[in-house]
Structure 1
Amino acid sequence: MEEEAAPEREGEWARHWQYPGVPGLDLLQARYVRHSFSRHSHEGFVVGAVRRGIEDVFLPEGTVRARPGTVVMINPEVPHSAKAGVPEGWVYSTLYPSSQLVATIAEETTTLRGTAGFAETIVEDPDTARLVHEVHRAAEAGNALAADSVLRVTVATLLRRHGRSLPARKPLAAGARTAAAAKQLLEERMADPPSLEELAQAVGVGPFALLRAFKAAYGLPPHTWLTDARVRRARLLLDAGTTLAEAAVAVGFTDQPHLNRHFTRIVGVPPGAYRRERARTYKTAGGSPA
C-alpha cells in the first residue's frame, strides 16, 4: 500500500501499541531526541526502520548506526541499548513480532531448520524498510488484511535474505548452571531480591564468579537483568488491568515514579501511556484486559 507519509510532529513523541488485527505483534512508532534506551532484551524479535535521523544501537558485537534505508533486526534475548546518533534524534517504526509468529512465517516460507532468526543485525534494504512503515500505516488505518499481509511479507523477506538457524541449546556448563540458578532465585524473589553476596552464597560461588557467569550467560549483570525482568513483569500486569501503583509494588520498584523511570527507558513510553493503549486495544477488539 503506497500512501503519502503524514507530516512529522515536532518534539519527542511515541506510541507503543497492539493492533487486534495482527495477533502476536507489538508496534512502536516514535521520534526520540533526548530519550535513550537502557540495556535490555526482548522475549521476541525486533525489526526497526528509521525514517529520519540516526539511531545508535549498542549490541554485544558493537554499535550499529541505523539511518533511513536500513533495517535493524535483533533476535530474542539479545541485550541492547540505543540513543540518538545525531542532535535532531531519530524517527522510526519498530515491529516486535513474537517468537511464535516468526517461527510460523519461517516454517511456511523458508527452508531454515530449527529455530529461525537473523544472521545480521543491520542491513541496507530500503524496500523492506518501506514495508516496515507500511505495516504501521495499515494498522493505524484499521486495515487488518493489509497489516497482516505486509507484516508476513516483511518478515519472510528478511528471513530469506538475512536469516539463519539459531544455535541449538546445549547442556549447561557449570558457569551457566550457576547463572540459571541465580536467575531463578531473582525471578522468585523479584519484589525482595537478595544482595549480590546473598545471591552468590545461595548458588555456592563467590560474588565475582557469579557476576562473570551471569553476564556470560545473559549478557547483563544481575542487577541490570533484574530491572529488565521487573519491567517485563510489569507489562504483563498492566496488560491484565493492574494499576500502576499496584504493578510497581508487585515487581519490587520502590514507588510509581521508580517504575515510570525504568519502564520508559526500556519500553520507550511511560507505563500510563502503555496501559491506555492496551485498554484501547482491548476495547477495539471487543474484549477485556482482565
Structure 2
Amino acid sequence: MTTTPLFWRDPALPHVELRYIEDGRQVRYAPHSHRQWSLGAILAGQSHFQYAGQQQVIEAGQLLLINPHQVHACNPCANMPWSYYMLYIDTEWLTRLRQSCGELDSDHWEDLSVSRLRDQALFNGFSDMATQLFDPLVSHAEKDAALCHYLQQLFAQVRREASPQSLLPTEPLHRALEHLHKHYDSNVPLQTLCQLSGLNQGQLIRQFRQTSGMTPHAYLTNLRIQMAQVALQSDLPLVDVALTHGFADQPHFQRTFKRLLAATPVQYRDGPKRLYQQQNTTHQ
C-alpha cells in the first residue's frame, strides 16, 4: 500500500478536484478550511473528524459533507488503517447545479447542516464516480455527466434534512475579512484589522473565532495556502509561489502546506502529471 496522496485534476473540468489516499495511517492534518465544498468517502479504517466545534469518530462506509470555509480536520485513529477519497467542488459551479436541481431558490450559496451521511447506494455511487474521474479512457463529457448525476442524487437524498446553516460575518468583521483577502500576500498587522472593523483586539479575535473557527493569523495563513494551491496548478516554481504568497521562504511555505494539507507542494502540483504518466505506462 502506498502512503503518497494521489491527486486528479483536469484543465477541461476546472470545477472539480479529487484526492485519494490508500494508506493514511501517517497522515496528519492541522485544522484548516477550503474555498471549495468538499465531499469525502471513508473507504477503510476509522478517523477523528473535527468539524463545527465537535469531534466524532468516522468509520468506513460514511460520507463527509464539508461546507466551504468551514474549519475542520480529519486524522486517523491510532494504529488504524485509513483510506479515503476527497472530492473538492467549486462553490459557484455547485451553487448553479443546486439551483438547477431546485434545491436552491437563488444563486447564493447556502451551507448544509448535514455533515455526515451513511447511505450504501450513495457510498457505492461515489466510488463508481471517482473511478470514472481517474480513468484516462473516459471522456471529459462522460466524467462531467457522471459527476453531475451523482451530485444530483446526493442532494436529493439530503434535501429534507439539510437546511441553511451559515454564520455570516458582521459588517465590521466583513471589512477586516475583505482587507485580508485583498492583501493576503502581505503582512497585515492586527491593529490594521482593528481599525478597519472598529473592534478592539479581544473583540476582533473573538468574532473571528465565532465566524471562521480561526484566529486572524491562522485565517490569513490558511488563505495564503488556498491561493498558493491555485498558483501551483499553473506550474510556477515553488520559490516564486512561496514569496508571492506571503511566506518568508520556500521551506516555510513547504512546512505550512504540509501541516495544513497533509501533502507537499510538489505532491499537489505534480500529482496529476504523475498519475497520467502511470496510466500511460499501464496502458502501453
User: Alpha carbons of 1:89 and 1:252: their partners in 2 closer, same or farther (altered >3 Å)?
Assistant: farther
Distance 2:172 2:49 in 1: 30
Q: Is the 8 A contact 2:191 2:201 kept in 1?
A: yes
Q: What is the distance in 2 between the residues matched to 1:169 and 1:81?
A: 19
Residue 54 of structure 2 corresponds to: 62
Q: In the TM superposition, what whole-angstrom CA distance separates every residue of 1:129-180 from its partner, at most 9, and x where no partner exists?
A: 122222221122221355333322321122111134535897x6xxx22322
Taking the aligned partners of 1:130 and 1:94, their CA distance within structure 2 comes to 14
Letter matched to residue 106 of structure 1 = R
Q: Which residue of 2 aligns with 1:223?
A: 217
- In the TM superposition, residue 28 of structure 1 has moved relative to its aligned partner by 0.5
Question: What corresponds to 1:19 in structure 2?
Answer: 10
Q: 1:187 to 1:97 in 2, by over 3 A?
A: closer
CA RMSD of aligned residues (A): 2.7
Fraction of identical pairs, as percent: 21
Within-5 A mapping of 1:22-171: 22-30=13-21, 31-114=23-106, 115=109, 117-142=111-136, 143-144=138-139, 145-163=141-159, 164=162, 166=164
Question: 1:191: how far off?
Answer: 3.4
Q: 1:187 — aligned with what? A: 181
- My pick for the range that moved more, 234-243 or 105-114, is 105-114
Query: Which structure carries more strand by proportion?
Result: 1
Confirm or deny that 1:246 pairs with 2:206: no
Q: TM-score, normalised by structure 2?
A: 0.84
Cα deviation, residue 35, structure 1: 2.0
**Structure 1 residues 197 and 107 mapped into 2: Cα distance closer, same or farther (>3 Å)?**
closer
Partner letter of residue 263 of structure 1?
F
- Shift in Å, 1:281: 9.2
Alpha-carbon distance in structure 2 between the residues aligned to 1:279 and 1:126: 32
What is the deviation of 1:45?
Answer: 1.0
CA distance in 1, matches of 2:167, 2:190: 27
**1:40 offset after TM fit, Å?**
1.6
Q: What are the Cα deviations for residues 223-275 of structure 1, in whole angstroms up to 9, with x where unaligned?
A: 11011101011112222332100111111112112111221233332111222
The structure 1 segments of at least 4 consecutive aligned residues displaced by more than 4 Å after TM superposition are 167-170, 278-283
Structure 1 letter corresponding to 2:207? A
In structure 2, relative to structure 1, the CA distance for the partners of 1:211 and 1:169 (3 Å cut) is closer
Q: Please, what TM-score do these two structures have when normalized by structure 1?
A: 0.82
Unaligned runs of 5+ in 1: 1-8, 284-290
Cα–Cα, structure 1 residues 165 and 265, in superposed 2: closer, same or farther, change >3 Å? same
